[in-house]
């Protein structure tokens, strides 16, 4: 399957989740929404609720804030596509629980073995100034390193700006042969 692994990047409220959801829907196979967010406050609870109401009932929902690779391995099949939303929230969770290096290694190590399609959604956070705080700098650095690693592995990489997808990398069947 061409475009088996996809990375959709964009800023907050850029339309990246909507684009990713549309890409999964057109495949015509079972849809799994793997949510990494945790509701730490009322505003985040509202964001999560909005995402849930925006999706129709054809989506199976799995919520997992940390063990992303394990969940992908358990649920990936030729008959489904898993949408992971969002990698930067997952990164935040892993940094908070001090398990980032092993979780990142597990994710990157399992992707080529997954039988099904996966579409990753992530916030592009590296286009601003270098943050002052050490933890914030680490977050921005690790997000950038993760995106670079995934961009090498993924067949398709898209940047979404103002709801418009800009293709950064697409699978070229001719060059793959």
Cα separation values, 135 from 2, 93, 102, 132, Å: 37, 13, 18, 9
Name 161's bridge partners. Answer: 164
> Which residues form the catalytic set?
51
Cα separation values, 28 from 22, 74, 137, Å: 11, 21, 40
d(CA 155, CA 5): 5
Structure tokens at 124: 């592009």
Q: What is the residue-wise DSSP string for 114-137?
A: -SSEEEEEEE--TTSPPPSSHHHH
For residue 86, is the peptide bond before it cis, meaning its omega torsion is within 30 degrees of 0? yes
| Backbone φ, ψ for residue 140 (5° rounding) | -60, -45
């Amino acid at each position: 399957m061409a475009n088996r692994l996809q990375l959709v990047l964009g800023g907050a409220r850029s339309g990246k989740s909507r684009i990713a959801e549309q890409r999964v829907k057109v495949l015509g196979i079972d849809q799994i929404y793997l949510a990494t967010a945790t509701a730490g406050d009322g505003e985040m609870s509202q964001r999560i609720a909005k995402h849930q109401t925006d999706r129709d009932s054809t989506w199976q929902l799995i919520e997992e804030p940390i063990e992303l690779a394990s969940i992908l391995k358990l649920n990936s099949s030729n008959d489904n596509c898993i949408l992971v939303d969002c990698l930067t929230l997952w990164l935040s969770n892993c940094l908070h629980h001090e398990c980032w290096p092993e979780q990142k290694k597990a994710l990157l190590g399992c992707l080529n073995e997954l039988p099904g399609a996966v579409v990753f959604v992530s916030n592009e956070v590296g286009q601003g100034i270098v943050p002052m705080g050490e933890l914030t700098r680490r977050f921005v650095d690790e997000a950038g390193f993760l995106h670079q690693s995934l961009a090498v592995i993924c067949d398709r990489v898209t940047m979404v700006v103002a709801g418009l997808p800009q293709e950064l990398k697409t699978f070229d069947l001719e060059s793959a042969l």
